[in-house]
Homo-oligomer: A and B are copies of this chain.
Amino acid sequence: MLDLAVLGLLAEQPCHGYDLRKRLSETLGPLWGISFGSLYPALRRLERTGAVEVIDADGETVAPPVSTGSLSGDLAAARLRRRTRPARRTRKEYRITEDGRSRFLELLADEPAEDERGFALKLSFCGHLPPEERLAFLERRRATLTERLAGAKRRPAGSRTIDRYTRSLLEHRATSTRHDIEWIDELIAQERAEQAGDRTEGATA
């Protein structure tokens, strides 16, 4: 989830952590106030696995500190670093690698029963998906929502007494879901129109 977010933002342009967080909360806003305590470790993890790299002002990649594979050696090195160069505090510009890009597309195409946050995140990146996959993604979402709505309708029958507030909540939620479906339908219609347009252009070209 976090990985997807980071890779997605870096796929658009190189960026450093502090800024990444800003851009993320712009898109996900109230849904996800990601904290530095998870962002920075995530960046290091992604760097270690080769999905992103640190670049300098000229856009040249900066080699990461290489592990020797020797525990005691690494510890000694860490101790030494701590005394001499106690970890850099200037901004570190990260750039996505080719590896990172394919990892990003994988994560984007994965379909693990989305929560709201996950869907919002993926939607905001779905421009990177090929048209058919994008359409499939939207339709999966639509299916999730219609099922949710069906579940909401089924419920009242078997249930015990629900008070006014709970009922209002349930009704409002159903209404919201219907709106969400309408919205998705618009997106799907747009998608289809565009794809039809592309095909026609392709045929006449």
**CB within 8 Å of B: which residues of A?**
23, 26-27, 29-30, 120, 123-127, 148, 151-152, 155, 159-160, 162-166, 168-170, 172-173, 175-176, 179-180, 183, 187
Contact = CB atoms under 8 A, between A and B. Distances in A.
B30 A155 contact: no
Contacts of A166: 27, 123-124
B27 A148 contact: no
Contacts of A30: 148, 151
Contacts of A187: 165, 168
Q: Which of A23, A155, A159, A166 has the most CB of B within 10 A?
A: A166
A176 B173 contact: no
Contacts of A127: 163-165
Nearest to A159: B26
Contact of A172 (B159, B170, B172, B183): B183
Given A27-B170, A29-B152, 20 more contacts: A23-B160, A26-B159, A27-B162, A27-B169, A29-B173, A30-B151, A120-B169, A120-B173, A123-B165, A123-B166, A124-B163, A124-B165, A124-B166, A124-B169, A126-B165, A127-B164, A127-B165, A165-B187, A172-B180, A172-B183
